[in-house]
Amino acid sequence: MKVSVIIPMYNSENTITNTLNSVKIQTAYNEILEIIVINDGSTDDSLNMVNDYILVNHDMPIILIDKMNGGVSSARNAGMKISMGEWIALLDSDDEWLPNKIEVQLKTIEKHPYIDFLGGDSNGLGLRILFKKIDSLYKASVKDLCLKSFPVTPAAFFRRKIINEIGYFDEEQKYAEDGNYFLRICAYYNYYHLPIQMVNCGGGKPTFGYSGLSANLKGMYDGNVKNIKDLKRESIISIDFYLFLRLFFWAKYIRRIIISKLR
């Protein structure tokens, strides 16, 4: 089962080497067909650093795409469009996989071949959906993902047939775009979560209100509302559940504002 690794990169000169090294030391490295790095118009030294990395690590199957800045979704899509692997593994340029990440996911899928999408834990944190702790391999529902978006993007591992059948990330959506894509996958495929630590994200920084796109709490709120509007329009969720989620997301938004100010 060959794997295509997709790494969008923007101004990541301080982290991209460690990101690539985390791919290089995978215990299932031989299953990695290609490592596609998409430079999304970086203005720092990221592009030169990857070129230098390729020269030193010439045996690694790294494909480097250099494009004008279009956002993380356009970068991921550019990589996914040229990928050739049976499985797609997403990774961001400031995150690092644990050494056995790909091996754990491949072995899980070998045991459970009906899985189409498999995520995992990050930053030493387990998964809770409201009051329910996930402590074994878990088949998620759309309702679960509405209540708790998971997994983090660099833990996502899915069949390439999903791309062929439902398409790509929405390049017009700037916030919660990964949640949008994952909800679409969950609605039509076998979407699973394995509660095993797989990735360290952003050096352990908070998941919201700190830096990057997630620092814009209002933008993330609006993105999540847009996602559930899409689900309601397509009759994937009921109107009653949609109305509940509007209140739930608003309360969550206010809570995050308070927590961010108290840090």
Contact 50, 17 (CB under 8 A): no
pLDDT values of the chain reduced to their tens digit, one per residue, 263 residues: 899 999 999 999 999 999 999 999 999 999 999 999 999 999 999 999 999 999 999 999 999 999 999 999 999 999 999 999 999 999 999 999 999 999 999 999 999 999 999 999 999 999 999 999 999 999 999 999 999 999 999 999 999 999 999 999 999 999 999 999 999 999 999 999 999 999 999 865 455 444 455 578 999 999 999 999 999 999 999 999 999 999 999 999 999 889 888 86
Give residue-wise pLDDT tens across range 206-231.
554 444 555 789 999 999 999 999 99
Q: What are phi and psi of 5, to 5 degrees?
A: -95, 130
Contact 38, 79 (CB under 8 A): yes
User: Which stretch of DSSP H or E encloses residue 147?
Assistant: helix 142-147
Determine the topology of domain 3-204 in CATH. Spore Coat Polysaccharide Biosynthesis Protein SpsA; Chain A (3.90.550)
Based on its alpha-carbon atoms, the radius of gyration of the chain, rounded to whole angstroms, reads 18
- Could you give the CA distance from residue 77 to residue 201 in angstroms, rounded to a whole number? 21
Of 213, 6, 220, 233, nearest to 97 by C-alpha is 6
Question: How many other C-beta atoms are found inside a 10 Å radius of the C-beta of residue 259?
Answer: 13
What are the domain boundaries of the chain? 3-204, 205-263
Q: What does the block give as tokens for 113?
A: 């071949």
Q: Judging by beta carbons within 10 Å of its beta carbon (0-12, 13-18, 19+), is residue 224 exposed, middle or buried?
A: buried
Q: What does the block give as tokens for 139?
A: 């088949």
pTM of the model: 0.93
